[in-house]
Amino acid sequence: MSKNAKVWTALVTVYVIWGSTYLGIAYAGETIPPLFAVSTRFITAGTLMAVVVKARGGSLRMSRRSLGACIVVGCLLPGANAVLFFAERNVPTGLASLIIASVPLWLVVLRLAGHERLPWQALAGVGVGFAGVAVLAQPSGGAKWWGIGLCVCSALMWSTGSFLSSRLPMPENPFAATSVEMLAGGLIMFPFSLLTVHHFSPSAASIAGWIYLVTFGSIVGYTAYVWLLANAPLGLISTYAYVNPVVAITLGVLFRGEHLTWRLLIGAVIVVAAVAIVVRQEPRATTGPEEGVR
């Protein structure tokens, strides 16, 4: 297989897998308590990632500062996923994916708060993008206000975690960093998750969704993403940020019976276009190993 074919294979893998994690979350959260599903997912995925690190000849050893940074980021990124689990119980997957797609926009806001100078095109994209989020943030199509609010909270947590990961002393090995982040987030949430487990009887669909999130969402998708970072232009890799919502919306319609409304379509066009503008202007602001924790 040629290098170009490998790049596109990995890119399509990221498109499909990360776009489909919203569907996996919806199924897993149907009969598995959200906090328990998230904590066990990341404990399992973090353990498997640690095995990958060791199999590649790497090490999980790191300084105390790096360990502390991984724990902080681990609370924010897996924590954002936990919030999304709760949100998707009351928000269609397509709408949730579009609100989460605002992460690059929030990253620009955080960078502005850090007194960075950014191109005017990126700032214009942020303004347009948040207008699109405002269009989407309406309790229609089965969505509830508090569920939409949780989606926004999840996006902000994800943005904050990604923002801090570029400024804290993270380990050089991205696989090691992600393994510790997953384990930290999962282990911190696990004791609390036990309080939410009562009559545990998950359906086959929920179990399949959980397994998919652990194996494909956390391991396969992330491995493909890290390989792309070393072998493809960042501008090309960054396209996942506005392709993932399209995949999520399509799968929601096909498998969850979700309906496309004019409000959703208009909001989708505005948000995806704005994210595309921001990503093309500031690709490093929207890409990074930590975004593989999905």
Q: What is the pTM of this model?
A: 0.89
pLDDT at 293: 58
Q: What is the radius of gyration, based on Cα positions, of the chain?
A: 18
- Nearest CA among 159, 157, 181, 164 for reference residue 83: 157
Q: What average pLDDT does the chain have?
A: 88
Contacts of 59 (CB under 8 A, 6+ apart): 53, 173, 176
Range of the domain at 152: 3-292
Residue 270's contacts (CB-CB under 8 Å, 6 or more residues apart) are 128, 129, 131, 132, 135
At 88-122, the pLDDT tens digits run 988 999 999 999 989 888 988 998 888 888 888 88
Going 4 to 272 to 226 to 51, the CA torsion angle's sign is negative
129-164 pLDDT, tens per residue? 999 888 887 776 667 889 999 999 999 999 999 888
CB atoms within 10 A of CB 242: 22
Q: What is the pLDDT of residues 233-282, one digit of tens each?
A: 777 887 888 899 999 999 999 999 998 888 889 989 999 899 888 887 75
Residue 283 has pLDDT above 80, yes or no: no
Structure confidence at residue 88 (pLDDT): 93
Number of domains in the chain: 1
